Structure 1
């Protein structure tokens, strides 16, 4: 469906801001030239690095993804080396974080971390062609399948350094990002094992996490105490599944997520601004009205993937609201209150990943070649 000139212009403005104001931060003030790691966060006003208490493998992997996506091979090569040097054991297992001096800090084996290593390595190989990335990807997938599997079709969220249970349970968020990672691995390798495993994951998520009343994927398995619905995750799941109809279209999760997409819009958006709230009760009542930047970008990506006329009209409105409320000349606001007050001003190194995945979908909708490659 053709998009309006207004939406086209607003998408171009968003990607231009990313190219000029967001990505360059992370080879300038956001880059620790001694450790060869991205700082965890920058000051929202000055873009000076905030004093780090740690450096996370996941943050390094997300930066590897965004620089690979942009075709910035020299910096991506450095990030790939740092990821392995600081966080990997050489056999596909990763620790959670190192301290400000670069020594191991938290040796937890975290599924979220392993998922982002797979995701980043798939993109790094696809964009930059380094064959070593596929070796790291394969080794990490083997660890995930051999060590994290819960014997019920899904995965433990976290294990000890020696891969023993630590009571973390099974959580939807790392499984969602593993789904994203396996989709990237399928695209990078063509290995149909990923397609089969993705369908199995989708069936298990539907059985254990989906609320039959709304179709929403809850944060905890159904029946857990203090469960909640995050609208941003409904949009994120919708984009992943609806974006691959040949793979997921005949599964019950695809039908559920169409309902979740509508439910999250009905109950999770702030009137007047389209700001996406952080959390809802299962019945749609507001639990947390904080508007985190990642949830806003996932709403936009879901609208682009949905692609119908009403969604495109909403997307045009969203693009204007988002640009004026969340972006500024030095970068972005990480979290807003519904009133528009900034409640978290620092700029984490992990957020460009959310902007990039969203803007890719918007650029594809507009027929734009983005991001521009090279450097």
Structure 2
């Protein structure tokens, strides 16, 4: 097999980023409110009247931090830092809860529409604060991350481990997904704020993956469960609903955890193999949701899922040098460029089974997935001949 190369795709990736980053950090920012809009139209017009999720603000701050790290922001580093701080101040005023944590939803005018404090959102605010510390070097952001963790501890389940999905304590299945992003947040905090105490927190969440989320007993192929009862048994309604994107995402996260902790992470190839054999179609794209053994549940294809496919392939290639994984990364990156991204710097967020656009706009929340995935690919684009 010829050595696969991603280099021919580099001009397309760079051209997209040169359009997307100015667009999302300008048109995607509601300067009057000091926060980001929820979505843009496909031609790049801000949809200002949509309610705004807390996670969108944190994710866009993450993207700003990464742009600063890469030197891709237009303007001086000082102005970049000032913009991030201004947004964080506005977002804290609109979403910040008096008892700690961040509310989940506000209106376009900044009025709280949902005062629930969701674990998923708090994980992304940890990451936003870590990036603010990285960009500004101000200890106040490191301290704010620690205070946010104190609130997160109030969501801990003292009986069966892990955390509740929110402070609302409403009925419903427990979820793997927010714990995964909390693991991601701990890894980023360990990288940007210091390993103590963040690696110990990441270690705990890694153990939760091993003993709760990863099913190694049901069949010959281990897989990642998503939904559980209060005592971490598979939820009777949705316990068999599997997410290929999260299998790939954990593959990438475990590769980062391996570097930071030195752990062997034997789960990495297990999750990758399951995702590749069960959740990916013949085009190399992954379904939104499947059942065990790869039976289709939702054959639509979100863009964020394909971003995690790309990251998973690259992580597996870096883990053991498998050139077939690099070839798969090349293929899925080409599919993202061909089927999802527009010349305006926007995207089609979901495709049908036959790769037709079925989304109504470009949600801001996807920039985080897309920018991180392209950032993972860029060193490979530059290094391959």
Q: Which residue of 2 aligns with 1:23?
A: 21
Match of 1:303 in 2: 313
> Equivalents in 1 of 2:115, 2:211: separation in Å?
32
- Matched residue pairs, number? 356
For 1:168 and 1:139, the matched residues in 2 are separated by: 28
Q: Tell me whether 1:360 sits opposite 2:359 in the alignment.
A: no
SS of 1:244's partner is helix
Say whether residues 1:340 and 2:355 are aligned partners. Answer: yes
TM-score, structure 1 as length reference = 0.89
RMSD: 2.1
**1:35, 1:193 → 2: CA distance?**
35
The answer as to 2:155 corresponding to 1:148 is yes
The list of structure 1 runs, each at least 4 consecutive aligned residues, that deviate by more than 6 angstroms after superposition, is none
**Unaligned 5+ residue runs, structure 1?**
369-375
Change in Cα spacing, 1:33 to 1:9, as seen in structure 2 (3 Å) is same
Task: Note the C-alpha offset of 1:327.
Answer: 0.9
Question: Which of 52, 58, 62 is the equivalent residue of 2:59?
Answer: 62
Q: Residue 269 of structure 1 aligns to a residue in which SS? A: coil
Deviation at 1:247, TM superposition (A): 5.1
The 3 A distance-change label for structure 1 pair 122 and 12 is farther
- Quote the offset at 1:70 in angstroms: 1.0
The residue that corresponds to 2:121 in the other structure is: 113
Question: CA shift at 1:187, angstroms?
Answer: 1.0
Q: Does 1:321 align with 2:321?
A: no
Quote the Cα distance in structure 1 between the aligned partners of 2:99 and 2:22: 32
- Comparing 104-113 with 257-266, which one deviates more in the overlay? 257-266
Q: How does 1:16-165 map to 2 (within 5 A)?
A: 16-18=15-17, 20-44=18-42, 46-71=43-68, 72-89=80-97, 92-145=100-153, 147-151=154-158, 152-160=160-168, 165=169
Alpha-carbon distance change, 29 to 247 in structure 1, aligned in 2, over 3 angstroms: closer
State the distance in 1 between where 2:186 and 2:379 align: 21
The two structures have a TM-score, normalised by structure 2, of 0.87
How much does 1:242 deviate? 2.1
Compared with structure 1, are the counterparts of its residues 355 and 248 closer, same or farther at alpha carbon in structure 2 (3 Å cutoff)?
A: same
| Aligned counterpart in structure 2 of residue 274 of structure 1, from 281, 284, 288 | 284
Matches of residues 165-314 of structure 1 in structure 2 within 5 Å?
A: 165-212=169-216, 213=219, 214-221=221-228, 222-225=233-236, 226-227=238-239, 228-246=241-259, 250=263, 254-271=265-282, 273-307=283-317, 308-314=322-328
Q: What is the deviation of 1:75? A: 2.5
